[in-house]
Amino acid sequence: MPHPYVLLSAAVSLDGRLDDTGPERLLLSGPADFDRVDEVRAGSDAILVGAGTLRADNPRLLVNSAERR
């Protein structure tokens, strides 16, 4: 049986930032990366989200692709 593992996925800007100080959500990824993240979500048992992200973004952590569901 393979060992369990944790996958960390985060998009950062060229200056190493995860977000800016503005109230709007900062999109640091493009369509290809959003598709990659969807594939990772489809193969994951759980997704951990920080409380600040949850309050600020109200993320919808569902698999978007019908084929992957």
Q: What is the largest CA-CA distance in the chain?
A: 45
- The answer on pLDDT for 35 being more than 90 is yes
For tokens 């493009």, name the residue.
Answer: 30
What is the predicted pLDDT for the residue at 1?
Answer: 63
In this predicted model, what pLDDT tens digit does every residue of 1-34 receive, in sequence order? 677 888 887 777 888 877 777 777 677 788 998 8
Q: What percent of the chain has pLDDT over 70?
A: 96
38-51 mean pLDDT: 89
In residues, how long is the chain?
A: 69
Of 43, 33, 35, the closest CA to residue 7 belongs to 43
Tokens representing 47 are 């997704």
| Torsion sign (Cα): 65, 33, 4, 57 | negative
- The answer on pLDDT for 64 being more than 70 is yes
What is the predicted pLDDT for the residue at 12?
Answer: 79
